[in-house]
Structure 1
Amino acid sequence: MRTIVKYIPILILAALTSCTDVVDVTVQEGPERLVVEASLDWEKGTSGNVQTIRLRQSTPFFDEDNIIDVTGASVTVTDDSNGNRFTFIDQNNGAYQTNSFQPVLGQSYSLRIEYNGEVYTAQETMTSVTNITDIFQSREEGFELDLLEVNVVFTDPETEGDNYLFKFQRQGDLLPMLEYAEDEFVNGNEIEWWFEPEDEDNIRPFEAGDIVDIEMFGISRAYYNYVSILIDQIGGVGIFETTPVTVKGNVINQTNSDNYAFGYFRLSEVDRASYTFVEDTINAK
């Protein structure tokens, strides 16, 4: 055993020093697909009339700088209870907008997109969300006891099956941080949901003076299942993490099922708030 251990570093060193050739790997590119960003969010206290749906084409994995906006499509959303149709006008930049949408909690809506001679459809229900009742900071709940985290307090409704999507975005950061939750074990209780940036993702911890914008969405169970897979894959692939798979949403190509779309048609009520971190010692509320 000692002899084997002794020679393992030598073999590794030899392998590393001998592998000097550069290998070009050709990455196979999949077909271009329609990407649908159809999140209709009804902020509490607003009419929810102005809504935007964005369409683009998928791009190769390593092509991060080339976003192909889709223009010339026909986009409508229909209230399934009364047939009211809301037309989303092409803004010629990939965005399609309406200022006449009528959101109704618990109501089913249907999306229809006509593009390049094909028809894409989806159906979803406008899902309610409870109120954020308090926001405070602490250093007690997170994985690192010396780091600041933000705590969001809300009371889960007594009805079972509530699902949540949280979006945290520190002002000045390029991208938001997402988390999801369900009420399986906390149904009907007051909940303190804490969040701190993950150090392994090279995101700096919260500091005094930081302002974080918080959004809490009510989401359907189907979207919860979809976004949980998506967020887990965003976290990267490690020895204990999920193997990447093609994540299909609820947008169906009725003309050619093989040419499926990416993205999701979601309708959510959302409660929004902001919090400014202050200097503290243990817990500032």
Structure 2
Amino acid sequence: MRSERFRDKIMIVTGAAQGIGREVAIRAAAEGARLALVDRSELVHEVAVEIETAGGSSIAILADLENWEGARDAVATAIRQFGRIDVLVNNVGGAIWMRPFEHFDDRQIEAEIRRSLFPTMWCCRAVLPSMIEVGSGVIVNVSSIATRGINRVPYSAAKGAVNALTVAMAMENAERGIRVNAVAPGGTDAPQRRIPRNSENQTEDDGRWIDEVVRQTTESSFMKRYGTLEEQANAILFMASDEASYLTGTILPVGGGDTG
């Protein structure tokens, strides 16, 4: 562990209440970052308390990042608190339904895109002017190797768009001192979500389709296993750090050999 990598750095982590986002936030705080933790769940306050109790510095911001106003206001709040943003980790996203494409309706398709593309796009747009003004900044978008996978076509499309957004932003902003990369996690073992992405009753077909995804994800990994939260956070924090200073426009797959 490089305990000083983020000393004096101001970092926004979105989707910080649970899972990968929570792991990234806690570890970044332990390495010296001052954090703005953004989530639409009240659970994000617990993460802020955990960081403060351990001697770190953070604020919790409740926001719905699926709309522009939520992202704009969250970034503005972080800048008012800390004065600038050095690092943005866009972690919000995740498949809501897992089923063959013909079983998605129009409402579900739009919900998947809103969930897994727009929070990243809006937050990139919201933070960019402040980074341009100071002539530096790092953005790490959390994508997915599920751009090649089954039973998640709308989610896969959204994450493919995140990859394209990452590369295009990197090309536009490299000479402004801003790096933009993405980390594409594979299947990841994590505690059961306290607030599920999908609260609908699961049918027998739903269970079978989810099992198909688990089987495909495991079989596609050379290591034949899911990753850990720590393994995903390692890659994200590397990309966020100065150790990755000559990397931009890169999509880093973290899937045990599955490149998506």
Query: Taking structure 1 as the reference length, what is the TM-score of the superposition?
Result: 0.27
- Greater Rg over alpha carbons, structure: 1
Higher strand share: 1
Query: Taking structure 2 as the reference length, what is the TM-score of the superposition?
Result: 0.28
